[in-house]
Copies of this chain bind each other. A is one copy, B any other.
Amino acid sequence: MKGKQVVDRRIHRTQQMLSDAFFALIVERGYDSITVQDITERANIGRATFYLHYHDKEQLLEESLLALFEDLTKDVELAPGFPATYQSLSIHVFQHIAEHHALYRALFKEGGPPFIVIRMHRWLASLIERRVLKAHIEQCTSNVDAGLLAMHCAGSLLALVIWWLDHDLAPAAEQLGYLFWQLISPGINDVLGIPLPESNAIPDTKKEA
C-alpha cells in the first residue's frame, strides 16, 4: 500500500520535472525547435524514461496545459456569483494569462504548437457558455445557437489576450475586462433580445468584479 504511494510519488516527481523542463524550454526557445532529447536532458531524465510516461512531446504539452487550464477553471468556478458576468470571467482569464505571460507569449508566437489557439478558443468558449451564456439564454426565447455565441465571445476574448500580450499587458486586467464587457454584451443582448439587462450596470470595475 505504502510502497505504491512511494512509487507514485516517484513517478509524479519525474513527470513534474519533465513538465517543468518543457515549459522552461518553451519560454526560452519556442515550442517547435525542442526535441525530446532537450527536455530529458534539462530534466535530468533518461530519454527512454520519457517514453514510459508520454508518447511524444505533444502529449506532454497537452497534459501540462490541461493542468494549467484547470487552475483557471477552478478560479472561475469558485468565484462568487452565478451566472458570472463577462467582466468577472474575463478578468479571471486576464489574470491567469498575466501570471503565465511568458509561457503564453511563447505558445502563441510562430513556432508554437499547432493546436494551441484553436484548443484554447474552444475551451474558453465552453467555459463562457457554461458560466455566463446558458443562464442568459434560458431567460429568453431566442433561437440563436448558444455554441455560436460562445465562440464569438471566446474569439473576442482570445483576440484581446493576444493583443494584450503583444502590448506588455498594458491596461490593467480590470480595465480590459470592462472593455470586453462593453464590446461583447450589447451585441449579445441585441441578438438575444434582452432589453439592456447588464447595460444598467454602472461601469464600475469594483462592483462588477
User: What's the interface size class on A, roughly?
Assistant: 35 or more
- Inter-chain contacts of A191 with B (CB < 8 A): 179, 182-183
Residues 91 to 140 of chain A near chain B (Cβ within 8 Å): 108, 110-115, 117-118, 121, 125
Q: Indicate if the CB atoms of A159 and B110 lie closer than 8 Å.
A: no
Q: Is A158 part of the binding interface, using a Cβ–Cβ cutoff of 8 Å?
A: yes
CB distance from A188 to the nearest CB of B (A): 7
CB distance from A178 to the nearest CB of B (A): 10
User: Which of A3-11, A19-27, A145-153 is found at the contact surface with chain B?
Assistant: A145-153
Q: Indicate if the CB atoms of A156 and B152 lie closer than 8 Å.
A: yes
Q: Indicate if the CB atoms of A155 and B159 lie closer than 8 Å.
A: yes
Q: Indicate if the CB atoms of A159 and B163 lie closer than 8 Å.
A: no
Q: Which residue of B lies closest to A181 (CB)?
A: B187
